[in-house]
Chains A and B, each alone.
Chain A
């Protein structure tokens, strides 16, 4: 069974600092990995999707890397802003399966 872990569960940083969020998974046989953002009381917003054949994916200030063999992904957010405060979740899609396995998320607070 795929287990997805996100550590730490929460972190607080001053504005302008770069954010590094970690995601680890136990089964390397994945099809792709997604990072999501969730604001309080809202649904999840897809940030980045990395296919298993890719090493990284970038969108604006966001960069996500994937090391499938070691079961790790990292989401980097450059020059953090208070508006980046949210919970960030990662999810892996097993090969040929509709069911994603989600991590519990990391709640980020960016202090002004």
Chain B
């Protein structure tokens, strides 16, 4: 069966510090990978998605970036965090348009 791992579960970082969140999927190959952010009162916002190694599509211009160094690994990064980057970050995967979207347990990021 397929599983998705996301870490860390919680993170408190000062403004201006770097960020690296990692997500890996097991039990499948060539998944589509997604990073979402969920903020109170704003719903789920798609940040990045990837349909293959090295291919990244950005949905929202901001100081975040994403990379896919391996088939089942997706990384969300920032060089300098802003207060507005606080939120709940969710990694997700699917096998294409016809398949359900599966989420990790999320990372609660607080920028202080």
Contact = CB atoms under 8 A, between A and B. Distances in A.
B35 interface: no
Mostly helix, strand, loop or mixed at chain A's interface?
strand
A88 interface: no
A102 B97 contact: no
Interface string B36-51: 0000000110100101
The size class of the interface chain A forms with chain B is 20 to 34
Given A44-B90, A102-B43, A104-B43, A32 B102 contact: no
A100 interface: yes
A53 to B, nearest CB: 11
A45 B51 CA distance: 21
Interface of A: 31-32, 34, 36, 41-46, 49, 51, 89, 91, 93, 96, 98-100, 102-105
